[in-house]
Amino acid sequence: MRPSGRDLSEMRAVSIETDVTKHAEGSCLIRMGDTHVLCTASVEERVPPFIKGSGLGWVTAEYGMLPRSTSSRMRREATSGKQGGRTVEIQRLIGRSLRAGVDRVAMGERQITVDCDVIQADGGTRCAAITGGWVALKLAVDKLIKAGDLTSDPLISPVAAVSCGIYAGQPVLDLDYPEDSEAGVDGNFILRGDGQLIEVQMSAEGSVFSRDQMSTLMDLAEQGVSALVTAQKAAVA
Amino acid sequence: MRPSGRDLSEMRAVSIETDVTKHAEGSCLIRMGDTHVLCTASVEERVPPFIKGSGLGWVTAEYGMLPRSTSSRMRREATSGKQGGRTVEIQRLIGRSLRAGVDRVAMGERQITVDCDVIQADGGTRCAAITGGWVALKLAVDKLIKAGDLTSDPLISPVAAVSCGIYAGQPVLDLDYPEDSEAGVDGNFILRGDGQLIEVQMSAEGSVFSRDQMSTLMDLAEQGVSALVTAQKAAVA
Amino acid sequence: MRPSGRDLSEMRAVSIETDVTKHAEGSCLIRMGDTHVLCTASVEERVPPFIKGSGLGWVTAEYGMLPRSTSSRMRREATSGKQGGRTVEIQRLIGRSLRAGVDRVAMGERQITVDCDVIQADGGTRCAAITGGWVALKLAVDKLIKAGDLTSDPLISPVAAVSCGIYAGQPVLDLDYPEDSEAGVDGNFILRGDGQLIEVQMSAEGSVFSRDQMSTLMDLAEQGVSALVTAQKAAVA
Amino acid sequence: MRPSGRDLSEMRAVSIETDVTKHAEGSCLIRMGDTHVLCTASVEERVPPFIKGSGLGWVTAEYGMLPRSTSSRMRREATSGKQGGRTVEIQRLIGRSLRAGVDRVAMGERQITVDCDVIQADGGTRCAAITGGWVALKLAVDKLIKAGDLTSDPLISPVAAVSCGIYAGQPVLDLDYPEDSEAGVDGNFILRGDGQLIEVQMSAEGSVFSRDQMSTLMDLAEQGVSALVTAQKAAVA
Amino acid sequence: MRPSGRDLSEMRAVSIETDVTKHAEGSCLIRMGDTHVLCTASVEERVPPFIKGSGLGWVTAEYGMLPRSTSSRMRREATSGKQGGRTVEIQRLIGRSLRAGVDRVAMGERQITVDCDVIQADGGTRCAAITGGWVALKLAVDKLIKAGDLTSDPLISPVAAVSCGIYAGQPVLDLDYPEDSEAGVDGNFILRGDGQLIEVQMSAEGSVFSRDQMSTLMDLAEQGVSALVTAQKAAVA
Amino acid sequence: MRPSGRDLSEMRAVSIETDVTKHAEGSCLIRMGDTHVLCTASVEERVPPFIKGSGLGWVTAEYGMLPRSTSSRMRREATSGKQGGRTVEIQRLIGRSLRAGVDRVAMGERQITVDCDVIQADGGTRCAAITGGWVALKLAVDKLIKAGDLTSDPLISPVAAVSCGIYAGQPVLDLDYPEDSEAGVDGNFILRGDGQLIEVQMSAEGSVFSRDQMSTLMDLAEQGVSALVTAQKAAVA
């Protein structure tokens, strides 16, 4: 029933290739089917003004799409003079989600910026960005630990995300673009590896949903994130 | 236990004063305790380019805060040269939520813009904006019906929103600013008058939550929205 | 002869409601007929760089119109990326006018920002903003005096403003929108309560005027400002 | 008493050199003492959208200062990303003033843009821009008449401007920069060659003035503009 | 003598991987040593306004660097609100260079946009972008030919580019970042496969050069481009 | 054969008028035929952050065109909100070129900004800006020497620039606008007075060129710059 022929609860093939760029402290290329996102983590020994002197660390994120990551060419945000509303929403979500997996005291007063750039898009780019972003973050943290700049690991638990939605009346896991553009209801579920919830964003464009449906989607999300965390752990091992 | 002395499931006093400005087709001033939002609905007999000729209507929203609606003065967005990320997120949410209550075929090819301007802020401004925005929208639609420009009511059901969160370890309904700034977990729940869900945004900044907690918050939200819908119906009667 | 039926030298009903928002140090809602402007005064214990260390205070102003304060919806300046020329002109005028009523030495090295936001427009918004802005300023100053932060009152005399113009060949006081949009000649007169002039802006769009006409308009303005000062004094009493 | 040694009612030397650039339909370099402004008039056979089809013409103006026209280098507005408030105010004034001397029906549906660029500044640049701008406008109109594109002269009367102020307690005509930066009260007076007033902008920064003082300044302004109109007529003859 | 141990006239290893993204009509990832640039070509059946109706085609280019393509993280241009001067210079150069290899009549009235995004930078990114950009362009054109949308090949000859400079007093071919940041004199040479020159940009920052040196660098450039053209032909075969 | 009737190797008449504005430390108006550029040099006793404390000086440049310097009126860059790509390219070139003639150690830690504003354009404005810019720079430096702020002259050699191109198949020197707009190949050559090359920018829009042609253009450029340096020396004598 799904355009891709997948089962309702079947995710796309996931691959996480690490250390894909030589400059970043941590990096990976995550592929969720045809959605490919390059994630890098950059460490700086300074923090934003609002936490200066607090002893706390900060994790933030930026998100972008290459102009031809999509089916028809998008305008480059640098030429339109600002980041669009969707971009801003997504990068705030990525940063907030990753911070939920970090002990900011243990991290010390430094900042890690996670850049997530979509090379090729086929639905679910923000979820892939969070999942891959955590891997880049972890690799950068491991480098700090190895160098003796950190004495304990500030990462509490992996952070991963997956989308679920109602497609053609059925609850489905990990929507690709053909599904995403048709689904009246869909959401993003960000969880930690220990099963705790970080963020739930269920949204209906031109539609509505019931609590029962929401519950079913939550079940799918827990199952999906569990598989993603396994892939993350393998990647950083 | 709550700073305001309210019970865990007690909302702030709600008042909705209608027809507060003479120019707008629909308007109201909604007060949720000390949060005051002026909502106006403006009808235009044209639609955005992407639906031109489709026969469908469009509802969109804009959101703003007066510089001294807050405890310390905020910079005016018009002088900083752009709307901030938070503003953009909120106005996209308001528009999306209101559209979920509209039959866009019945609405005909016209646009209604709902402006929500925060006069005084004390937490929960986006929820107040959605709840009051629907009242302004309804009044504008009623005017179109009365004038014979619409033959049937395109509004399917009221749309209202409330925030819930975990404050001091307890699930609470309708957070005010002192609670909102302390709560590690909070969310916005947008529902229709018929009980259907439109949007759920649960988010944890520096914290996490369980499915059980989420379920409790949903219960509170359903209860809160039900009271708001009663107030909306009274206001537009 | 006037669309409103007023006499040539008759002002609209004036009302000034004070303390309309809980956060601002001073605030009022001024109504000149159907023109409604919300004015707030915000005190900061810092001054702009160009007077740092001078011991002098600073009063500045910002002005905005809610999108649907006007007959047809205006574009929100925050979305167009900048304040328009008219806005900038008006807020510079408000700041300059209010400063003319202030002893900046007595004020001490602090800044008061007066925000004037037009809730509903029907002509004469900048004059209402100055008149109401002074009330908000006065209330904020009174609070500083009461708190012992100021030992003497730095406000020399009230500042108030009124528009006059030639409508249908006749000199009229306090133009409303229907008059304003027809008048070829109109002006804004800002005076102090002691009768001294602060600013005179007479302007003719597609028309001209004589010195005699100007003199008549000055007479009307003096009369109008005198009434406004009475209303200001009553409001802050 | 004046820094320049001029009498109270003595203007600076005026010179108007015409046809200073080969591309513009009309152009002049006006010198009011050490204030030098290059004015060009550009004719276009199209009008702004808001008067399209009305049969009326439009005159508009833009104003700029070269970065080193001033004593210390100013930031170039093109690099700061926008025109400052002062620039916007001035160019609106120039356009409005010039339009007051134009029969827009006789002008026909075309636009003339007057650019006023300050090459060297020593006070009174906006007045010099208006006075020189009218000369450029007149030369462009003469070219249209000569080419048969206009059958009658749409210029009703010359438009010229001069500043006056209270310097060291004395009313003075045509303030230069040392006077302008000291004067608590000063104003710009724009008149037509037939003696009619177009715009009066009296302003006090940190000061006030009386009606008597205003009257004296008006006398000076009438005298100054009269001399400027003579210079304009000689230039375009 | 070179940091990399290369001979003076030795280029870095070149690889060109084609069809690296599924959406673009043509794409490649070009690697010049550690400089990696993703190039995509997007075909649109419309042209910019200035050639509409001329029957001519247009090739244009955009250039960007991922924030962590460099040794320390760069600010994302989308967040700084505009493309920097260097970016604009480079993308204009890429577009101009590629157009020099195109018969715009044979191309027909359509536009091809070549996006060059630097994934990893180590000097010479603009040259890699031109060389790889031509490959993406060629693949897109081949697709148009195959689909019957073009009846003849509008690409006259390959276009490729290489940098040369004076490093430590010696003329060197294909500078990497350590050389580039030290070289007082360097340049970019864009040639066609038939040996004709398209663009020569020799520049000295804090240094100068002689005609003899320039001639030697030209020899190196011809040799380098010849090798690049061989790689391009192999890639598109 | 040339539209102007000049010989292939004949430059336009050059004139350099110095000290044309009273505020700038150095200034000139350079005329290359009908191309007129006003150049000013502004000295500041501070340097950009990136060389603070290095003891080195900095020379930078900005470039602008008056709106009606061209045949049809151009949009003012201050109103379009940013400098266009061409402007940025040109001002970077001017700054880089002038720095190549400066001993930045001898200059001391100060900055000189050279502003080049095109009053009238007829081709070759960037070359005129460099040639005139050097004169303004020299005059400012001479003033610093005279005042004892500099003990030795940091200017190594004059810097001048000329354009050459292939027009109607022939190599020509110093292209004017009619030639420039037709030439498929043209370039800018910046040299020092001692014959050393600073920058060569040969570019072909829709065309190509051979090494032989390039060599001929270099010969012309050397001849042209030699004449310009003579004019510069006369101007600053």
Question: What average pLDDT does the structure give for chain A?
Answer: 96
DSSP per-residue letters across C23-67:
SSSEEEEEEETTEEEEEEEEEES---GGGTTS---EEEEEEEE-T
CA distance B176 to B125: 9
pLDDT for residue B207: 86
Residue E30: closest CA among E111, E137, E112, E107: E137
CB D190 within 8 A of CB D97: yes
**pLDDT above 90 for D184:** no
We report the CATH number of the domain holding residue F61 as 3.30.230.70
Q: How far apart are CA C31 and CA C114, in angstroms?
A: 17
Residue range of the domain that includes D61: 14-236
- Read off φ and ψ for residue D13, nearest 5 degrees: -60, 135
**If pLDDT is split at 50, 70 and 90, which confidence band does E60 have?**
very high
Nearest by CB to A70, which of E23, E82, E120? Answer: E23
Identify the H or E element spanning C222. Answer: helix C211-236
How many angstroms separate the CA atoms of E25 and E20, rounded?
11
- Decide: helix, strand or coil at residue E74: coil
Judge contact between B31 and B174, C-beta under 8 A: no
Q: Which of B46, B66, B139 to mutate to test the interface with C (most CBs of C within 10 A)?
A: B66
Q: How many folded domains does chain D comprise?
A: 1
pLDDT grade for A136, boundaries at 50, 70 and 90: very high
How far apart CA B7 and CA F50 sit, in angstroms, is: 58
Within chain A, strands assigned E span: 14-18, 26-32, 35-44, 58-65, 111-120, 159-167, 170-173, 185-192, 197-204
If pLDDT is split at 50, 70 and 90, which confidence band does D79 have?
A: confident
Among residues B131, B179, B126, the alpha carbon closest in space to that of B10 is found at B179
Closest by Cα among C189, C184, C159 to C174: C189
Q: Which residues from chain F sit within 8 angstroms of residue E201, using beta carbons?
A: 200-202
Percentage of chain C modeled with pLDDT above 90: 92
Residues of A in contact with B210 (CB under 8 A): 196-197
Q: Please give the structure tokens belonging to residue E74.
A: 């760069």
pLDDT at res. F205: 80
* F201 in contact with E, Cβ within 8 Å: yes
Nearest to D163 by CA among D146, D148, D147, D177: D177
| Tokens, residue A50 | 């609002």
Q: Alpha-carbon distance C156 to C135, whole Å?
A: 13
User: Looking at the predicted structure, is the pLDDT value of residue C206 above 80?
Assistant: no
Place of tokens 């005027």: C209
Residue B87 belongs to what H/E stretch? helix B85-99
- Give domain status of residue B9, yes or no: no
Whether residue E7 lies inside any domain: the answer is no
Do β-strands F14-18 and F26-32 pair in parallel, antiparallel, or remain unpaired? antiparallel
pTM, two decimals, is 0.88
Copy the structure tokens of residue E149: 């949308």
pLDDT tens-digit readout, E116-151: 999 999 999 999 999 999 999 999 999 999 999 999
| Closest to C226 in 3D by CA, of C160, C173, C174, C139 | C160
E strands, F111-182, in order = 111-120, 159-167, 170-173
Only one residue has tokens 């243990």, namely A106
Inspect the interface and report whether the beta carbons of B81 and C81 lie closer than 8 Å.
yes
Compute the distance between CA of residue B116 and CA of residue B130 in angstroms, rounded to an integer. Answer: 8
Position D170 scores a pLDDT of: 94
Confidence (pLDDT) at B25: 98
Q: What are phi and psi of C44, to 5 degrees?
A: -130, 140
Contact B74, B120 (CB under 8 A): no
- What pLDDT, on the 0 to 100 scale, is given for residue C197? 96
| E219 band by pLDDT with thresholds 50, 70 and 90 | very high
Contact B202 A200 (CB under 8 A): yes
In angstroms, rounded to a whole number, what is the distance separating the alpha carbons of residues C142 and B60?
43
For residue F2, being part of any structural domain is answered with no
Q: Is residue E3 part of a domain?
A: no
Res. E81: pLDDT tops 80: no
Give the strand order in the sheet containing D159-167. Answer: C170-173, C159-167, C185-192, C197-204, D197-204, D185-192, D159-167, D170-173
Tokens of E73: 């993280």
Percent of chain B with pLDDT over 70: 100
Q: In what order do the strands lie in the sheet with D35-44?
A: D14-18, D26-32, D35-44, D111-120, D58-65
Cα separation, F235 vs F227, in Å, equals: 13
C-alpha distance from D204 to closest chain C C-alpha (Å) = 5
- Cα–Cα distances (Å) from B155 to A202, B150, B190, in that order, read 22, 11, 16
Q: What is the pLDDT of residue B33?
A: 98
Please say whether the beta carbons of B62 and B113 come within 8 A. yes
Annotated binding site of F for phosphate: 86, 124-126
Q: Residue A84: its pLDDT value, please?
A: 85
Q: Taking 80 as the threshold, does the pLDDT of residue A109 lie above it?
A: yes
Percent residues over pLDDT 90 in chain E: 92
Whether the predicted pLDDT of B206 surpasses 80: no
D200 contact residues in C (CB cutoff 8 A): 187, 200-203, 214
**How far apart are the C-alpha atoms of D226 and D115, rounded to whole Å?**
24
d(CA F114, CA F94): 9
Closest by CA to F108, choosing from F58, F74, F163, is F58
- Has residue D231 got a pLDDT over 80? yes
Judge whether A208 and A224 are in contact, CB under 8 Å: no
| pLDDT (0 to 100) of residue B144 | 98
In chain F, positions 96-115, which contact chain E (CB-CB < 8 Å)?
Answer: 96, 99-100, 104
Evaluate whether residue E218 is within a structural domain. Answer: yes
Q: Which two tokens stand for residue D61?
A: 């103006």
Q: Put the strands of the sheet holding A35-44 in their side by side order.
A: A14-18, A26-32, A35-44, A111-120, A58-65
Residue pair A168/A154 in contact by the 8 Å Cβ criterion: no
Q: Is residue B77 part of a domain?
A: yes
Non-local CB neighbours of D147 within 8 Å, separated by 6+ positions: none
- Residues in B closer than 8 angstroms to A211, CB to CB, are 197, 218
d(CA B232, CA B136): 10
Measured CA to CA, the distance from residue F117 to residue F21 in angstroms comes to 13
DSSP structure class, residue E13: P
| Among candidate residues A16, A29, A38, the one with its CA nearest the CA of residue A118 | A38
Q: Which of A62, A72, A73 sits opposite E79 (nearest CB)?
A: A62
Least confident of A228-232, B134-138, E5-9, E50-54: E50-54
Cα dihedral A93, A95, A101, A103 sign:
negative
Mutation pick from A73, A87, A176 vs chain E, by most beta carbons of E within 10 Å, is: A73
- Count how many residues are written for chain F: 237
Show Cβ contacts of residue C220 under 8 Å, excluding neighbours closer than 6 positions: C8, C9, C164, C171, C172, C173
Q: How many CB atoms lie within 10 A of CB F209?
A: 25
Q: What's the whole-number average pLDDT of chain D?
A: 96
A3 occurs within a structural domain: no
- Mean pLDDT of chain C, nearest integer: 96
- State the count of interchain CB pairs (< 8 A) between A and E: 92
**Residue E82 binned pLDDT confidence (cut-offs 50, 70, 90):** confident
Asked if residue A42 belongs to a domain, the reply is yes
Residue ranges for chain F with pLDDT beneath 50: none
pLDDT value at residue C82: 79
Report chain B's mean pLDDT, rounded to a whole number: 96
pLDDT for the residue numbered C217: 96
Please say if the pLDDT value at position D191 is more than 90: yes
Amino acid B81: pLDDT:
75
Q: Determine the pLDDT at residue F203.
A: 93
Q: pLDDT per residue over A12-60, tens digit each?
A: 999 999 999 999 999 999 999 999 999 999 999 999 999 999 999 999 9
Reported as a single tens digit per residue, the pLDDT across A171-216 is 999 999 999 999 989 999 999 999 999 999 999 887 899 999 999 9
